[in-house]
Amino acid sequence: MEQIKIKPLTKEQLLISASRLTRFKYTEIKYLRVFKDIITGNLIYPKYKKQELDEFDYETVKDLAEKIINFSLCKLGIEEDSDYLINQRLYDYENAVFKINQQTEKLLKNKINYKGITKLFAENEVNNLRWLKALGEETDLTKAREKNSLHFPVEKVIICEGITEETLLPVFGEVYGFNFDKNGVHIISAGGKNQVVKTYYELSEYLKLPIFILLDRDAEENLRAVNHKLREIDEVYILASGEFEDLLPQSLVERTLGYAFENISLLDINLLDSDKPRVKILEEIFKTRGLHEFKKAEFANLVKINIQNKSDLSDEIIRILEKITANKKELI
């Protein structure tokens, strides 16, 4: 490789790059994006645009990014290390989770000084950075995940329609006795039933892990679209009660509204007995109280605060959790 000139990455940039490289995302996409960002931002000479890097062999992209990262660590006083245990275990993990082509393998077969990067960590780093450290220190990664709620290695993926499910399912799981992070369950909020289908199609093409799909009751057409490509290891669950908000026990909703409207003359609680969908009722409550527009994400976080014990688990929430916790397999 010709003589190059580098602007070192800062400590913060190194940690951000390491976090992006180890998050749950398809290997080729995340590695190319991170490596190209590093090259365009920190390689002073020769200078490349992203369009030029698109024409490069993956081996060359990997070599340039690796050199910049390791040079940056040296500038922070962290010398190169010949211990590549973390690199090998990342390679093994990515291959266990995703279908990896030969080009992408070139990106994974790097000599980035991950051991050096872990020396920059604080104790309260995000899960995937703590997972990176565990790769270099722990013998049994599954036990380390269970002990420290690492989330990684991921063993099962849930695709749901919206933020309510993403926010509340892990909390309900905890009350039920199943910690999502300790068991490697990863939730993706797709942003609508059509996006659930699109997300499933994409994931099923390259993901080796089982996928649990959660759809609202009105998603029969989407169910047919999913079933058309459903793999044997995957499962679809259609809610019997409309939307996820309809699954919440009325006592939990009342408690949440009481918490939200603590200093406001509360609504006629009988409104919750209406046959209307729960979201429509909540929209009406917020409107009649003269408050801001009802927002699912905000309400989900209020519900999260007010979940207390197993009495807050409806029968259908329990059925969903039973499905999610079934057939959990060992990955590593």
Q: Are strands 235-238 and 5-6 parallel, antiparallel or unpaired?
A: unpaired
Under 8 Å between Cβ of 94 and 100:
yes
Per-residue pLDDT of the chain (332 residues; tens, 9 = 90+): 568 999 999 999 999 999 999 999 999 999 999 999 999 999 999 999 999 999 999 999 999 999 999 999 999 999 988 999 999 999 999 999 999 999 999 999 999 999 999 999 887 788 899 999 999 999 999 999 999 999 999 999 999 999 999 999 999 999 999 999 999 999 999 999 999 999 999 999 999 999 999 999 999 899 999 999 999 999 999 999 899 999 999 999 989 988 887 655 555 566 677 778 999 988 888 877 656 788 999 999 999 999 999 999 999 999 999 999 986 544 44
Which residue(s) pair with 186 in the sheet?
157
Neighbours of 158 (CB within 10 A): 23
Alpha-carbon distance of 163 to 88, in angstroms, equals 35
Under 8 Å between Cβ of 136 and 164:
no
Predicted pLDDT of residue 331? 41
Place of tokens 């995302």: 25
Predicted pLDDT of residue 325? 93
Phi and psi at 187, nearest 5°, equal -105, 135
Phi and psi at 284, nearest 5°, equal -65, -40
H or E stretch including 92? helix 85-97
Under 8 Å between Cβ of 98 and 331:
no
Alpha-carbon distance of 181 to 183, in angstroms, equals 5
**Length, in residues, of the chain:** 332
Instruction: Determine the CATH number of domain 151-242+314-325.
Output: 3.40.50.261
DSSP code of residue 246 = G
Predicted pLDDT of residue 281? 87
Both tokens assigned to 137:
């220190």
Helix 58-75 crosses helix 11-22 at what angle (to 10 degrees)? Answer: 140
198 contact partners, CB below 8 Å, separation of at least 6: 190
Find the radius of gyration of the CA atoms of the chain: 23
Number of helical H runs and strand E runs in the chain: 16, 6
Predicted pLDDT of residue 332? 40
